[in-house]
Amino acid sequence: MLSKRLPSVVRSLRFRLALSYTIIFGIFLSGVGVVFRYQLDSVIDEWMESLIEDDWNAVGGFLRIENGQATWSVDPRVPQQVFFLERLRRNLLLSDADGNILEASSGYRIFGVESAGELTRIAASATPVWRKKFHKAEGELLLRYGQFSTQGDKYLLVIGRRTSEPRVITRLFVEDYFLSIPLMLIVATFFGWFTSGRALRPVNELAETAQKTSGSSLHLRIDSRGAGDELDSLIDAFNKMMARLEENFDQVKRFSTDASHELRTPITGIRGQLEVALMTAKNTDEYRDAVINALEDVDRLSNIVRALLMLSQAETGQIEIKREPVDLGGIVGDLAEQFSTGAADENIGLTWSSDSDSLVSGDRTQLERLVTNLLANAIKYTPGGGSVAVSVVRRESVVELVVADTGIGLAAEHLPHVFERFYRVKRDDPEKGLGLGLSFVAWIVRAHGGAIDVQSELGKGTTFRVSLPRTGSAGMTPVPALLAEARQ
């Protein structure tokens, strides 16, 4: 709801990608800055400690303690020594083992002097102690507490250095770095906006093409970027979808053109016959003849309409294909027997054979329709004296149905088209068929996941070979057998 009220730019994926890129980059930069800041601090600490350690090692050469009195001796002619001592004594504290202060520099006092008890406790520690002291105006003081022994007596010596100067490095880093983050984020935002725009360009193209798509522009495709990424597979899927749509659309177009063409012939016939009758018929018999002829055409018309309806139902997936074990050999046997009388009348020898266990997984009604069509065609296109042989052969994963005739055959140029709707060879008698039988056969085969193939030689005969998947290769038990078993 809320997102609907936002401007479209803000709702866009590009904006959200660029924004998340900026946020993640901002978090990353800040994290890196914080880590660097602490790294820098600890490097400075280590550096200062090593300097203090050097001071500590040099102290012994200058400090004498006699009768509770500390004396510092330097050669005044060596300016480095004078300077060293001056710097050392700026932040220094010396106490005896009981916490009595022998010397405490004013620099030290600013940061606060420990109580005698505390000094005694630290003096007892055999290992050096490191501490930091803070003062609002003076900054930070790093201190080393350690035992100092001379003439058998133990003292506590504390020396230190102020760290405010080296800490300037950290401060400068923090200032420069964190001030530059907004600038880096602006650059990152532009970069994110640009790259996400580039990455999403195919999506926009897709949307534009989809919007432009209509029945007349189904040929539109989007060029693959060749990156092999998710967007390329989206483009690929889109192009394939468009190709399928184009094919289906073409099919529908062809279907309606073919259908109207096919329907026009009998309608013109009926009209012609009725008009002629109206103008020329002189008696009832002539009218009767005209009406009978017209009725024949009406019959043909309703056959076409019925076949078209069934085919369109089939192709739009409205006919449900059952999956049950069907004995193809049995179907062939039954149907061939029915056709044998008609074949014999035409003087055509019809033979059939079947392997045992020729169960296929399919729909009995549709498989019967398939066999009927092939058998009817074989007989229809075989002249008297010829023969038709039907066989069902069981192979490893399929059952093969072969319908071979010694009929008129087909020229090679027709073979790729015989499964198309309304395809008929010119020589055919228009009364003998609609050119829809084989397209229906092809659909049934496809719906069963099978394959069909035709071989033919003009004047010699034609062979149709259909392979259909067998029921679960291990031999699926037919449903009736299962039911019988369950009832026992």
Write the Ramachandran bin of 55: left for phi over 0, alpha for psi from -120 to 50, otherwise beta.
alpha
Region of 3-11, 149-157, 180-188, 430-438 interacting with ligand ADP (CB under 6 A): 430-438
Residue 429: C-alpha distances to residues 324, 388, 410, 419, 424 (Å): 38, 21, 15, 18, 9
Residue closer to ligand ADP (CB basis): 383 or 480: 383
If residue 148 lies in a helix (H) or strand (E), which one and from where to where? strand 139-150
Compute the distance between CA of residue 488 and CA of residue 476 in angstroms, rounded to an integer. 19
When binding is defined by CB under 6 A, the residue of 18, 370, 389, 418 that contacts ligand ADP is: 418
When binding is defined by CB under 6 A, the residue of 160, 202, 435, 450 that contacts ligand ADP is: 435
- To ligand ADP, the closest distance from the beta carbon of 384 in angstroms equals 15
- To ligand ADP, the closest distance from the beta carbon of 337 in angstroms equals 20
- To ligand ADP, the closest distance from the beta carbon of 424 in angstroms equals 4
Region of 8-16, 203-211, 322-330, 432-440 interacting with ligand ADP (CB under 6 A): 432-440
Asked if 390 interacts with ligand ADP (CB under 6 A), we say: no
Compute the distance between CA of residue 403 and CA of residue 371 in angstroms, rounded to an integer. 9
- To ligand ADP, the closest distance from the beta carbon of 310 in angstroms equals 13
Asked if 409 and 459 count as a contact pair (C-beta separation under 8 A), the reply is yes
Asked if 436 interacts with ligand ADP (CB under 6 A), we say: yes
Asked if 349 interacts with ligand ADP (CB under 6 A), we say: no
Asked if 419 and 473 count as a contact pair (C-beta separation under 8 A), the reply is no
Asked if 434 interacts with ligand ADP (CB under 6 A), we say: yes
Task: Provide the residue type at 427 as one letter.
Answer: R
Q: Give 156's contacts (C-beta < 8 A, 6+ positions apart).
A: 93, 94, 95, 96, 97, 99, 119, 122, 123, 145, 146, 147, 148
Compute the distance between CA of residue 141 and CA of residue 45 in angstroms, rounded to an integer. 11
- To ligand ADP, the closest distance from the beta carbon of 195 in angstroms equals 57
Compute the distance between CA of residue 346 and CA of residue 340 in angstroms, rounded to an integer. 10
Asked if 423 interacts with ligand ADP (CB under 6 A), we say: yes
Q: Which residue from 349, 381, 396, 383 is spatially nearest to 456, judged by alpha carbons?
A: 381
Compute the distance between CA of residue 344 and CA of residue 350 in angstroms, rounded to an integer. 8
When binding is defined by CB under 6 A, the residue of 433, 449, 469, 478 that contacts ligand ADP is: 433
Asked if 408 interacts with ligand ADP (CB under 6 A), we say: yes
Residue closer to ligand ADP (CB basis): 325 or 437: 437
- Closest residue to ligand ADP, Cβ-based? 433
Asked if 300 interacts with ligand ADP (CB under 6 A), we say: no
Asked if 401 interacts with ligand ADP (CB under 6 A), we say: no
Asked if 188 interacts with ligand ADP (CB under 6 A), we say: no
- To ligand ADP, the closest distance from the beta carbon of 292 in angstroms equals 23
Q: Which residue from 186, 188, 128 is spatially nearest to 160, judged by alpha carbons?
A: 128
Residue closer to ligand ADP (CB basis): 362 or 409: 409
When binding is defined by CB under 6 A, the residue of 143, 235, 304, 410 that contacts ligand ADP is: 410
Compute the distance between CA of residue 246 and CA of residue 244 in angstroms, rounded to an integer. 5
| Sites for ligand ADP among residues 364-383 (CB under 6 A) | 377-378, 381
Residue closer to ligand ADP (CB basis): 329 or 435: 435
When binding is defined by CB under 6 A, the residue of 89, 162, 424, 448 that contacts ligand ADP is: 424
Region of 2-10, 154-162, 226-234, 434-442 interacting with ligand ADP (CB under 6 A): 434-442
Asked if 462 interacts with ligand ADP (CB under 6 A), we say: yes
What three-state secondary structure class fits 479?
helix
Q: Give the chain's count of helices (H) and strands (E).
A: 13, 14
- Nearest 5°: the CA angle 461, 371, 312 is 110
Residues lying near ligand ADP in the complex (CB under 6 A) are found at: 377-378, 381, 405, 407-410, 418, 423-425, 428, 433-439, 462
